[in-house]
């Protein structure tokens, strides 16, 4: 079974997703606080990415750009405090085709989006 990669520097967000995965998701969750992980991971093991847009080293947008440049085609769910309607046209183009969950999270909304990408328990 493929693993889910969470890239977020907020420890509360990490705990929130760990809680959801423990209760509802069979896939293993790998938590990273830094986008640099994208250079050191076996993409064959990854089934989906949960990605924050605001990160300390590389932004979520930079990560999406790098994945596209490297030909990495893994489904991405953006999880961000930035409402989608605040994104400019260039940013909207980068997140096109990605799931999008806005903070603060609604538990059921998160489950609904996750269910679109992965199998829940």
Structural domain boundaries of the chain? 3-117
Percentage with pLDDT > 70 across the chain? 98
Cα–Cα distance between 61 and 95 in angstroms, integer?
8
pLDDT tens, position by position, 30-88: 999 888 888 889 999 999 999 999 998 899 999 999 999 999 999 999 999 999 999 99
CATH of 3-117, one of 3.30.1300.10, 3.40.50.2300, 3.40.190.10, 3.30.1330.60: 3.40.50.2300
What pTM, to 2 d.p., does this model score? 0.93
Helix axes 11-24, 107-117, angle to 10 degrees: 70
Angle 28-61-30 from CA coordinates, rounded to 5°: 10
Cα–Cα distance between 47 and 3 in angstroms, integer?
6
């Amino acid at each position: 079974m493929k693993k889910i990669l969470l890239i977020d520097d907020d420890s509360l967000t990490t705990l929130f997703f760990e809680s959801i995965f423990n209760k509802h998701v069979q896939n293993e969750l790998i938590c990273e606080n830094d986008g640099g992980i994208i250079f050191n991971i076996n993409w064959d093991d990854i089934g989906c990415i949960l990605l924050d847009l605001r990160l300390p080293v590389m932004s979520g947008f930079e990560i999406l750009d790098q994945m596209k440049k490297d030909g990495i085609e893994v489904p991405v769910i953006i999880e961000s405090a930035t409402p989608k309607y605040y994104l400019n046209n260039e940013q909207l183009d980068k997140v096109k085709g990605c799931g999008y969950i806005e903070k603060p999270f609604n538990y059921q909304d998160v489950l609904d989006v996750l269910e679109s990408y992965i199998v829940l328990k």
